Amino acid sequence: MAGRYGHDGHDGQGGQGGLRGRAADHENGLIPRHGGYRKLKSFQVAQLAYDVTVRFCDRYISKRSRTHDQMVQAARSGVQNIAEGSKASGTSKKFELKLTNVARASLEELRLDYEDFLRQRSLALLAPDHPALVRFKKKRCTTLKEVQDWVVEEISYTDRHGQTRTGTDTNNGEGSVPVSDGLCKSLSSSTLVANGALSLLNLACYLLDRQLAAQARAFEEEGGFTERLYRRRVKARVKKWKSQT
């Protein structure tokens, strides 16, 4: 996925005096720069997985099914908790860790739901090196439209190579048609989307695992807001004591 790591730090809120005050806090290290979640690759990938999941559930899962709402909510939880954890990091590293872990757990739940969808319908769970997924990863999709274009291209690709084309998949992918020995089975649109979503979720979970490890190291080595505040107060008292002696 195309994306950028890091934090931008500013909300753009408040007057000049407030901006100067916050800038001073950042420079002195009491409140570090935080809240730049839109630049986190984990957020970008999770947000795309959320968009894909909303579309997937509306098309392939009955809205009367609890699974529909659970998948959408799990996808939303992943995105929202990454954002909330990033915003909270300025004053609570512990809360940031907690929310990032909630995001990771939500995306793991969603990953299992996609795997269940494929297994319960006897649809293919593609290996990471499957040609269709290799092409998907090379596209580095950043929008729902790009994922949809990939699905269309894959269906057209099977046509060009003499395999049976799968239609619009109105029966939840149960009409996948096997082809002659030596060739791959044609893949329904639901199979392609579910596997594409799983590829995104695998990447998001990997990125969040790294993010959690980095957050834990930072918390262990630097402490949180309370520790920084304590060090600031001790430093101020020492400075005051020295000025009086």
| Per-residue pLDDT reduced to its tens digit, 168-214 | 444 454 444 333 333 456 899 999 999 999 999 999 999 999 999 99
Q: Cα–Cα distances in Å, from 235 out to 161, 222, 229, 240?
A: 72, 16, 10, 9
**172 part of a folded domain:** yes
Share of the chain above pLDDT 70, in %: 64
**4 part of a folded domain:** no
**68 part of a folded domain:** yes
What is the rounded average pLDDT of the residues 147-175?
65
Q: Is the pLDDT of residue 244 over 60?
A: yes
Q: Cβ(89)–Cβ(224) under 8 Å?
A: no
When divided into structural domains, the chain yields a total of: 1
Instruction: Give the amino acid at 212.
Output: L
- For residue 163, the model assigns a pLDDT of 52
Low-confidence winner among 35-44, 147-156, 157-166, 181-190 (lowest mean pLDDT): 157-166
**11 part of a folded domain:** no
What is the rounded average pLDDT of the residues 101-122?
98
**87 part of a folded domain:** yes
User: Which of helix, strand or coil describes residue 202?
Assistant: helix
Phi, psi of 126 (to 5 degrees): -75, 145
**8 part of a folded domain:** no
Q: Is the pLDDT of residue 12 over 50?
A: no
Domain of residue 25, residue span: 16-244
